[in-house]
């Protein structure tokens, strides 16, 4: 009888160990997938565009590759137009944006800046306004910074975002324009 009990005990320990290793492997794979994410500037809408003030709303698409829902709780992003930094968007508190598993989430970024301060001369601002109305495909908008998200035991800090696209590419539905990290 003690041999049966020993075999049963060893079997239970071996089974629990195998389950533990399996769970650890799943957690490790999900963490790798959380760090393998995609992003794109998905849309830009112009709320106000004058020589004195420009108000934009940019939509940043984030694609979650893992099976875990996350909450995006902070971001710090610089916004560039034609290679010049026009704004910093810092969201330090809980934003409440859900980043669903195997899905896409969008962060709306409100950008307001004074073009004369950023671009210097009024002539450049006027040419930018003219370019917007005549050939907006050549206007480049960029975002560079970090986004952080969490869910219970998973916390992904400072996921890097760095992208510059023309307005034409931003408005495109072409998924190949998404930029992705591959975490091995």
Asked whether the predicted pLDDT for residue 1 surpasses 60, the reply is no
CA Rg value for the chain? 23
Task: Kindly report the pTM of this predicted structure.
Answer: 0.79
- Which residue is associated with the tokens 């896409």? 104
Burial class (CB in 10 A: 0-12, 13-18, 19+), 143: buried
Homologous superfamily in CATH for domain 38-177: Immunoglobulins (2.60.40.10)
Tokens encoding 166: 């023309």
pLDDT band of 146, cuts 50, 70, 90 = very high
Q: Which residues pair with 72 in a beta bridge?
A: 97, 149
DSSP structure class, residue 95: -
Distance CA 179, CA 176 (A): 8
**pLDDT (tens digit, 9 = 90+) per residue, 94-139?**
556 777 877 888 888 889 988 888 888 767 777 777 777 777 677 8
CA 1 to chain centre: 60
Asked whether the predicted pLDDT for residue 183 surpasses 70, the reply is no
- The SS3 assignment for 120 reads coil
Asked whether the predicted pLDDT for residue 145 surpasses 90, the reply is yes
Domain ranges of the chain: 1-34, 38-177
Question: Which residues contact residue 92 at a Cβ distance below 8 angstroms, ignoring those fewer than 6 apart?
Answer: 74, 76
Question: Which residues contact residue 68 at a Cβ distance below 8 angstroms, ignoring those fewer than 6 apart?
Answer: 30, 34, 101, 151, 154
């Amino acid at each position: 009888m003690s041999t049966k009990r020993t075999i049963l005990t060893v079997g239970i320990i071996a089974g629990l160990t195998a389950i533990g290793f399996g769970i650890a492997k799943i957690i490790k794979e999900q963490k790798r997938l959380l760090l393998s994410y995609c992003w794109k500037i998905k849309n830009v809408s112009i709320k106000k565009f004058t020589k004195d003030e420009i108000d934009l709303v940019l939509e940043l698409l984030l694609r979650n590759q893992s099976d875990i829902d996350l909450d995006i709780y902070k971001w710090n992003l610089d916004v560039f137009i034609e290679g010049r930094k026009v704004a910093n968007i810092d969201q330090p508190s809980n934003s409440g944006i859900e980043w669903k598993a195997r899905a896409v989430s969008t962060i709306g970024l409100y950008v307001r800046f004074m073009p004369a301060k950023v671009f210097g001369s009024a002539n450049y601002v006027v040419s930018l306004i003219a370019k917007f109305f005549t050939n907006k495909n050549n206007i480049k908008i960029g975002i560079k910074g970090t986004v952080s998200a969490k869910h219970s035991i998973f916390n992904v800090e400072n996921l890097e975002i760095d992208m510059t696209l023309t307005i034409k590419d931003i408005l495109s539905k072409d998924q190949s324009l998404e930029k992705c990290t591959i975490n091995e």
